[in-house]
Chains A and B, each alone.
Chain A
Amino acid sequence: MNFFQIFVEAISWIAILGGCAFMLVGAIGALRFPDFWTRIHAVSVADSAGMLLLTLGMCIQGGFTLVTVKLIIIGVFLFITGPTATHAVANAAMVSGFLPKGADEFRKPKIAHDAKTRKLKAKKKSPLKGGL
């Protein structure tokens, strides 16, 4: 076993172990985080990173064979569909009126401001009505 082979093996194991660490951290985050909108961060982002690292490590282990081609197909497919599915979940939750914590506080002053400007506009417009 020459130096190059040892180097490739080391990269492969680092990728696989790092991917496993990402997956575990994502799972723990999904269990421990307090809110749906925080959980979605933990699961989606960590899963994407862990999936890519695990697939890369397994590709290196597989060598130039059909296994690597299948692994690349799985990796590309999961890389596209994972964030898409997470976005679909988040969008469905948002549409169903399931707002993040504190989103109402951001909306309140905007509405009040709109009401104020509407009043001001109405006052400005009212003298014009008689003139026309």
Chain B
Amino acid sequence: MFSLATLALFLGMCIVLARLYAGPTLYDRVLAGNAFGTYTVLFIGVLGFLTGRPDFLDIALLYALINFVGTIAVLKYFRYRAIGDTSPSPKGKPVLHGNLKDQGYKH
């Protein structure tokens, strides 16, 4: 039965990867990447039960943490073009550091 669950989750992962490759916009890809992370967490858990060693759950938990932070980081990067300090300036726009200004980024 766990083999069936593993197979179903693996199939779902493949389908979501196809959407991640074919997604027409950035947000489709971010969404598919987030879903792929969730699928991977569950896949690792089920695989641990399938092989009789449920110790992989630590890795699954770590993957869940990294997946969430990664999704938010990607979204923030494509919104502000910076991951670090994006505290708003008096005009309501994030402060651009010198390096980015020199490259001609405008918001």
Answer whether A and B are interacting partners: yes
Please report which residues of chain A, range 57-111, place their CB below 8 angstroms from some CB of chain B when the two chains form the complex. Answer: 58, 61-62, 67, 70-71, 73-74, 77-78, 81-82, 84-86, 88-89, 92-93, 95-96, 98
Q: Which 3 residue pairs spanning A and B have beta carbons closest together?
A: A27-B12, A20-B8, A27-B15
Is A81's CB under 8 angstroms from B15's CB? Answer: no
- The CA of A39 and the CA of B75, in the complex, are separated in Å by 18
User: Between A and B, how many residue pairs show CB distances below 8 Å?
Assistant: 127
Q: Is the CB of B25 within 8 A of A74?
A: no
Describe B's contact surface by its main secondary structure.
Answer: helix
Q: In which size bucket is the chain A interface?
A: 35 or more
Q: In the bound complex, do residue A54 and residue B25 qualify as a contact, i.e. CB atoms below 8 Å apart?
A: no
Q: Name B's A-contacting residues (CB within 8 A).
A: 1-2, 4-5, 8-9, 11-13, 15-16, 18-19, 25, 27-28, 30-32, 34-35, 38-39, 41-42, 45-46, 49, 54, 57-58, 60-61, 64-65, 68, 71-72, 75, 78-79
